[in-house]
Structure 1
Amino acid sequence: MAYQALYRVWRPQEFADVVGQQHVTKTLQNALLQEKISHAYLFSGPRGTGKTSAAKILAKAVNCEHAPVKEPCNECAICKGITDGSISDVIELDAASNNGVDEIRDIRDKVKYAPNEGRYKVYIVDEVHMLTPGAFNALLKTLEEPPKHVIFILATTEPHKIPLTIISRCQRFDFKRITAHDITGRMKHIAEASGVTVEERALHIIARTAEGGMRDALSLLDQAISFSGEQVEVEDALTVTGSIGQEQLTNLVKAIIDQDTPQALDAIHRLLEEGKDPLRLIEDLILYSRDLLLFKTAPELEDSLERVLSDDAFKAIAETVESDLLYQYIEVLNKTQQEMRMSNHARTHLEVAAVKLSQSERPKTSQAADIPDLQQLINRVNQLEGELKKLRATGVQEEQAQPAAAPAAKKQTRQSTFKAPAGRIKEVLRNATKDDIAQIKNRWGDMLESMNRQQLRSLTALLNEAEPVAASQDTFVLKFKYEIHCKMAMENNKLTDTMPSILQELTGTYYSVIGVPEDQWLDIREDFIQQQDEPEGDGEAKEDPLIEEARKLVGSDLLDIQD
């Protein structure tokens, strides 16, 4: 048999093998056991996250000879037939090449026939967003009321292109990007089962390059194995993925921080001579600076690091560099990245950015300003000793002189670095509607995906722990789990301009954004609720005018008030 790629050999054959999508697999398993199977499903999410694999597993599970089961047995004749494609009851269609009205009409004519071997006839339509408007219209009625023996499973990477009339007829499951940790664990298992030795750091490099797609990760691993043989090392992974080694990146960042311009330029030239892409290098520098800032501010968030592993060299840089300097680096690098995308001289912009960063003015630290001159300190001590002798001579107790000799230092309390606009947030809460916040939440995943497609992954990383919590007709409140993420996001003009623009494309409404850290959000919301509950004038809470009018019309006995 001809050689098969790793992602085909190790394609998941049961729900337990689908990595990083427990919120989907658990729901489907419960539905299988309880025999609450829907007539239509929509699987949406980025490429290589297991949508088509989950569809085939579901098709096997509903038709398994031992059903109802939460996992297909993969041993019975039907499971084996669906796996090798020999059973005609499971029909896989590629909407990219079968997107016309005639193909859908053919499906519509054939769904009425009973399955040949299994209990259900399952249609799996991949990349369903490629169907033409006429094909979608032809599918509508059949999708809404198919025969009892038919199940439709639609898969897509762009759910925003599917008509709402189709989406409303399906149970929707959103597949998310797989974390680098989960991808690394799965690749390690596959490498061991395949008898291939792969360094741990090489697996991390491949996982981060895959950007959340298991299929991409296995393709890169396959390529690295072909390149290196039976033992994949870090250099092999760097060569295959085109990535930049952490040691090289650390040396470059250290040269910039040390203001060693010749060394920084030499490091860049060596990387470019090795064939590294300038755009990839500038993005790695942004992510490295971001990881430095996060590690310096919150070391316990080590799992949130996007680009680096926290080795000794990285920790040493994080301890010495100032946060204000990292803010400056990220701002300059972001601006340079935008200029490089619109220029034919990307290398020149990269070199100019390196010179600008390595020669930038360092922020002054308060510690240096607080250290007095040594001679002044000696003079002050001598003066205090003279005053102490005079006090002793006049009979004043030594204990009374001690507070003057050694005044207690006032402890400086750390001030919050970001203050959310409480007044604007309360105004949003006062005019908030359920429809607006529901509309934003429903399209939030699509907005993040759109930002990723626009090469804004470094900005999207700030929104991983963010959540829309309230919205009026023109503004919404975005809650951040960590204050540092909120500060970085709200001070980034590119991010605050891009989010409302993409949401306007998805929802038809322009919403400006207000960021708030989680702890401040809880205080502001609690304060707002208390203000709403406070009595007015005579000490009694004022009743809603609509309720008061209804009470006049029908009386209190017939009035049932529900929140």
Structure 2
Amino acid sequence: MAYQALYRVWRPQTFIDVVGQEHVTKTLQNALLQQKISHAYLFSGPRGTGKTSAAKILAKAINCERAPVSEPCNECAACRGITNGTISDVLEFDAASNSRVEEMRDVLDKVKFAPTAVNYKVYIIDEVHMLSISAFNALLKTLEEPPKHVIFILATTEPHKIPLTIISRCQRFDFRRITAGSIVNRMKLIVQETGVDCDEQALQMIARAAEGGMRDALSLLDQAISYSQDRVTVEDALTVTGSVSQGFLNKLAAAFQTKDVASGLEALDELLYHGKDPARFIEDFILFYRDMLLFKTAPNLEESLERVLLDDDFRTMADTIPIEQIYQLIDLLNKTQQEMRWTNHPRIFLEVAIVKLCQIEVKQVAQTQSGDIEQLLSRIEHLENELQYLKANGVAQSQQEAAPQPQKSAHRSSRKGFQPAVGKINEVLKHAKKSDLNVLKANWGEMRANLIKSHAALLNDAEPVAASDNAFILKFKHEMLCQMAMDKSDFLEGVSTALYKLTNKRLLMLGVPEEQWLTIRESFLNSQHGEEGIDSGPNKEEELHISEAKKLFGAEFVEIID
């Protein structure tokens, strides 16, 4: 007898043999026992996950002579005939090679005839998404009004290409990728039954290379058995799958960590010399660092590792490499993989990537080191000493009196405009002296010259109007400028310091807009008899003349000279 491939010999014949699809097999078994069989099923999922095998098992279980049963007996004439393909009532139709509407109609024309050998006609249409639109329309009519003795089982790897009108008339079962552990367990059973000597690490390597497909895994195992001599080793599995050995990946990762460019390039030359595919190598390397990241962050999820085996070298490497560097390595490898897809010279991109990876600088997350803490503590101590000195000389107190008030008035100004400190202004007016105001005005120009330009600009439309021994009132022409000036603590300190150098007095500055100053001053004069240190400006009669002049000629043409 001619040799049969392992995936054909070990094709599942019962639901319990279908690996990794318990959510599908249990549902079908319950439906069989309860005799709730649908007229159409849709099996979708990746290749090699058991869709067609499950369809044939379902066909046998429906037509088994011992029905209703949860598993086909595989002993009766119906089960053996369906397994051998000798019963014409169970038809396996390949839509990939028979996609035309004429071929579909030839099959559907026989649907109306009753089965001859078993109870139900079962039509298994594989790769159903390959049918043409006309063929789908022909199938749709039969699915709408199927005969009682007909069951359709549609299998596909691309369910999104099937019309929704077809999907809505089927019970859909989604087959999942089979986990590497389930594939390894199945292969262990097979090698034990066949008497093949095989390393467990080789089976794990094959299972991970199969990417969730049992048929792919058995094909690779079959190939590895043929390639090996007496025992299937890890090297045999690497050769068959085209993967790069983990020892090689560990060696290259060590070169990146030690920034050894020569060693990295030598390892790459060795890799390409042995005929490894650059695209497969870059993919293996990305998975290598992906598994390392998962191992560092979630070491208990060993089943989630795609590529690596947890040997001592890998564990040591994972303990020494920081997570930030893994992020950078994966990012650079991913960019290289994207670039390699559009070039005829992938080796050049690989070599450039190796050099970059060896020279990469780890971007550490900003952390406060012990030396930085000591420097900060020293700086804080220095600032505390300066603060004590300023308090002793009265500087901080005057700044505290001036600075909080603008902040509070700025908060209120968002609703009502600038609000001057009327109480403090009245207190200054009570103790105001003409001599103090004259001294202040005499030094005003020189004081402005000592300020920085931005601070001096705020005083362009401002003038002192009253002064006492420890404070003065500054009138601003525009309310906005007054608010800006009183909100700036550095401006207040700059003016105070400049005046201190000229007058040897630390004066508190109180700002007030011109319009509000007239009201505040009038209110104070009404309650007092006036003070010599107040720049009273025009009297009430003059104010009436000024107001009348502004009405006649316009405010922009009237200039008031004191």
What range is the shorter-chain TM-score in?
0.5 to 0.7
Describe how 1:60-459 pairs up with structure 2 within 5 A. Answer: 60-364=60-364, 369-370=369-370
Q: Following the alignment from structure 2 to structure 1, what is the Cα–Cα distance between the partners of residues 107 and 344?
A: 49
The answer to whether residue 57 in structure 2 is matched with residue 43 in structure 1 is no
SS in 1 for 2:109: helix
Q: Following the alignment from structure 1 to structure 2, what is the Cα–Cα distance between the partners of residues 247 and 367?
A: 34
Q: 1:217 is aligned with what amino acid?
A: A
Deviation per CA, 1:541-562: give whole Å up to 9, x if none: xxxxxxxxxxxxxxxxxxxxxx
Cα deviation for residue 209 of structure 1 reads 0.8
Q: Go from structure 1 to structure 2 and tell me whether the alpha carbon gap of 1:364 and 1:170 turns closer, same or farther (over 3 Å shift).
A: closer
Q: Following the alignment from structure 2 to structure 1, what is the Cα–Cα distance between the partners of residues 364 and 83?
A: 66
Q: Following the alignment from structure 1 to structure 2, what is the Cα–Cα distance between the partners of residues 373 and 28?
A: 67
Cα deviation for residue 108 of structure 1 reads 2.3
Q: Following the alignment from structure 2 to structure 1, what is the Cα–Cα distance between the partners of residues 235 and 257?
A: 26
SS in 1 for 2:124: strand
Q: Which runs of 5+ in 2 are unaligned?
A: 379-562
Deviation per CA, 1:295-321: give whole Å up to 9, x if none: 111212222111111111111111111
Deviation per CA, 1:24-81: give whole Å up to 9, x if none: 1010000000000000001111111100000000000000000000000001111011
SS in 2 for 1:211: coil
Which residue number in structure 2 is paired with residue 388 of structure 1? none
Which residue number in structure 1 is paired with residue 34 of structure 2? 34
Q: Which runs of 5+ in 1 are unaligned?
A: 381-563
Cα deviation for residue 257 of structure 1 reads 1.2
The answer to whether residue 8 in structure 2 is matched with residue 3 in structure 1 is no
How many residues in Structure 1 have an aligned counterpart in Structure 2? 376
Q: Following the alignment from structure 1 to structure 2, what is the Cα–Cα distance between the partners of residues 224 and 356?
A: 36
Q: 1:152 is aligned with what amino acid?
A: F
Q: Following the alignment from structure 1 to structure 2, what is the Cα–Cα distance between the partners of residues 91 and 367?
A: 68
Cα deviation for residue 268 of structure 1 reads 1.0
Deviation per CA, 1:416-451: give whole Å up to 9, x if none: xxxxxxxxxxxxxxxxxxxxxxxxxxxxxxxxxxxx
Structure 1 residue runs of 4 or more that deviate by more than 4 Å after TM superposition? 364-368, 371-374
Q: 1:212 is aligned with what amino acid?
A: G
Q: Following the alignment from structure 1 to structure 2, what is the Cα–Cα distance between the partners of residues 210 and 296?
A: 25
Q: TM-score, normalised by structure 1?
A: 0.65
SS in 2 for 1:232: coil
Q: Go from structure 1 to structure 2 and tell me whether the alpha carbon gap of 1:362 and 1:109 turns closer, same or farther (over 3 Å shift).
A: closer
Q: Go from structure 1 to structure 2 and tell me whether the alpha carbon gap of 1:371 and 1:302 turns closer, same or farther (over 3 Å shift).
A: farther
SS in 1 for 2:57: helix
Q: TM-score, normalised by structure 2?
A: 0.65
Q: Following the alignment from structure 1 to structure 2, what is the Cα–Cα distance between the partners of residues 299 and 95?
A: 45
Q: Following the alignment from structure 1 to structure 2, what is the Cα–Cα distance between the partners of residues 53 and 168?
A: 23
Which residue number in structure 2 is paired with residue 453 of structure 1? none
Q: Following the alignment from structure 1 to structure 2, what is the Cα–Cα distance between the partners of residues 231 and 173?
A: 39
Q: Following the alignment from structure 1 to structure 2, what is the Cα–Cα distance between the partners of residues 70 and 171?
A: 18
Deviation per CA, 1:232-254: give whole Å up to 9, x if none: 11111111111111111111111
Cα deviation for residue 106 of structure 1 reads 1.9
**Is contact 2:324–2:364 with CA below 8 Å preserved after alignment?**
no
Q: Go from structure 1 to structure 2 and tell me whether the alpha carbon gap of 1:365 and 1:113 turns closer, same or farther (over 3 Å shift).
A: closer
Q: 1:130 is aligned with what amino acid?
A: M
Q: 2:70 is aligned with what amino acid?
A: K
Cα deviation for residue 105 of structure 1 reads 1.6
Q: Following the alignment from structure 1 to structure 2, what is the Cα–Cα distance between the partners of residues 251 and 21?
A: 38
Cα deviation for residue 365 of structure 1 reads 7.1
Cα deviation for residue 141 of structure 1 reads 1.5
Q: Following the alignment from structure 1 to structure 2, what is the Cα–Cα distance between the partners of residues 4 and 59?
A: 24
Q: 1:177 is aligned with what amino acid?
A: R
Q: Go from structure 1 to structure 2 and tell me whether the alpha carbon gap of 1:372 and 1:170 turns closer, same or farther (over 3 Å shift).
A: closer
Deviation per CA, 1:327-378: give whole Å up to 9, x if none: 111111111110011111111111111110111113347789325899x9xx
SS in 1 for 2:361: coil
SS in 2 for 1:300: coil
Cα deviation for residue 127 of structure 1 reads 0.6
SS in 2 for 1:75: coil
Q: Go from structure 1 to structure 2 and tell me whether the alpha carbon gap of 1:99 and 1:176 turns closer, same or farther (over 3 Å shift).
A: same
Q: Following the alignment from structure 1 to structure 2, what is the Cα–Cα distance between the partners of residues 373 and 328?
A: 29
Cα deviation for residue 144 of structure 1 reads 2.0
Once superposed, what is the RMSD of the aligned Cα atoms? Answer: 1.8
Q: Following the alignment from structure 2 to structure 1, what is the Cα–Cα distance between the partners of residues 294 and 210?
A: 22
